[in-house]
Amino acid sequence: MSSSVSSQHDQVLVEENSFARILTLNRPKQLNALSFLMISRLLELFLAYEEDPNVKLVILKGKGRAFCAGGDVVAVVHDIWAGGWRAGANFFMKEFSLNYLMATYSKPQVSILNGIVMGGGNGVSMHGRFRVATENSVFAMPETALGLFPDVGASYFLSRLPGFFGEYVGLTGARLDGAEMLACGLATHFVPSAKLPMVEAALCDADSSDPVIISSIIDQYCEKPSLKEQTVYNRLDVIDRCFSQRTVEEILSALEREVVDQRDGWIFATIQTLKKASPTSLKISLRSIRVGRVQGVGACLAREYRMVCHVMRGEFSKDFFEGCRAILLDKDKNPKWEPSKLEHIADTTIDRYFSKVKDEDWEDLKPPTRSKFNLPPYVIAKL
């Protein structure tokens, strides 16, 4: 076995149990950040399991204190520096293809989110049929602080959260706990972490791909968690008033009016978070989530692929590279965004992020063909 194949297999552990396959993301020191090798291996395994009649469901989990903290962005940046923006495009093409396969999978995927689940980690979990949160779960899409935008199909799943909660989560990178994930629909179940081994054992004995049966098995171990007193989910009225505004500038103005009226520390912190984020990222993220409200998951991922290619080309803004420098590499946490102000970014500039890349060798995202599979109704509804 070559070293690259060995590494690929080491990064995703496979356990075959009766009718289930348990896949464990295995880069605990990197909080299971998705490498190109991991993404390729997951794609290979999910494609094989869909063809295998002996496999009824797939369980995905992470080793250590994270499910998955995101894509390995540092590696992507180094690849771009070494080989140009197409090296990064190759990573996202593969990742978004995996996201689409999971979103349209004909068998149930159960993601055990017992720890950190951020960025690309949401791409390999939120699209699956079942997402099990625990008391250790921490959700976030922190891309606007990095000069990126909520990708991996986030414009699909964030736009379908209650009210304008998705805009709030996507623009601010707010962290949610397991109870909040369950309340807003990001998680389908909440199971105390001590009961997870029992859930896995019961699922492995289930000779069924019927989502009703799978859900009822998980239900046996569920608890109804209490939302903490200061939960942001109790502020949906303020979030809806502010994050329903048409532009990022109007969202900030609405929040500033709320501060005057309420003198609320949470609102002030939200304003400061938005002001620290990349102005370009905020604008493309808001539009992406809004457009995602009326698109299927495939169209969302295809559009996000266009957007991420423009981000990596750095034609209109190099904020992605500056954000990675400030947050992940030098770690001075003091990015110098350019343009530095929302009002300096014209709508026509934002339009360009949603257009085809003007490069004769560039192609739109071509996700895996799904027509030959008998897709369940909950998958067809996403298309």
CA 296 to chain CA centroid, nearest Å: 16
11-358: which CATH number, 3.90.226.10, 3.30.70.260, 3.30.70.1450, 3.40.50.300? 3.90.226.10
Other beta carbons within 10 Å of 174: 19
Distance (Å, rounded) from C-alpha 370 to C-alpha 213?
24
pTM of the model: 0.96
Q: Return the domain boundaries, the chain.
A: 11-358
Tell me what pLDDT residue 259 has: 87
Q: What pLDDT score does 175 carry?
A: 98
pLDDT digits (tens, 9 = 90+) for 13-23: 999 998 999 99
pLDDT digits (tens, 9 = 90+) for 105-137: 999 999 999 999 999 999 999 999 999 999 999
Q: Report yes or no: 178 and 322 within 8 Å, Cβ to Cβ.
A: no
The tokens describing 115, both together, are: 């720890």
In the chain, the amino acid numbered 124 is V
Residue 307's SS3 state is helix
Measured CA to CA, the distance from residue 45 to residue 189 in angstroms comes to 25
Name the 3-class secondary structure at 40.
helix
Which is catalytic among the residues 143, 167, 177, 319? 143
- CA nearest 264: which of 292, 286, 238? 238
Judge whether 143 counts as a catalytic residue. yes
Q: Is residue 2 predicted with pLDDT exceeding 60?
A: no
List 120, 123, 170, 323, catalytic entry = 120
pLDDT at 365 exceeding the cut of 70: yes
Q: Is 323 a catalytic residue?
A: no
Joined together, the tokens standing for residue 25 give: 């993301």
SS3 108: coil
The per-residue pLDDT for range 186-217, each reduced to its tens digit, is 999 999 999 999 999 999 998 899 999 999 99
**167 vs 261, more confident:** 167
Per-residue pLDDT reduced to its tens digit, 322-343: 999 999 999 999 999 999 999 9
Q: How far from 22 is each of 4, 30, 60, 151, 203, CA to CA, in Å?
A: 22, 20, 6, 26, 10
Is 135 tagged catalytic?
A: no
Which whole number is the average pLDDT over 56-81? 96
Task: State yes or no: is 151 an active-site residue.
Answer: yes
Asked whether the beta carbons of 186 and 157 are under 8 A apart, the reply is yes
Q: Which of 62, 70, 71, 121 is the catalytic position?
A: 71
What is the spatial distance between Cα 68 and Cα 137, in angstroms, rounded to a whole number?
A: 11
Annotated active-site residue in 72, 151, 177, 258: 151
User: Cα Rg for the chain, rounded, in angstroms?
Assistant: 20
Q: What distance lies between CA 337 and its chain's CA centroid?
A: 24
Tell me the residue length of the chain.
383
For residues 220-231, give the mean pLDDT: 96
Given this model, what pLDDT does residue 375 score? 87
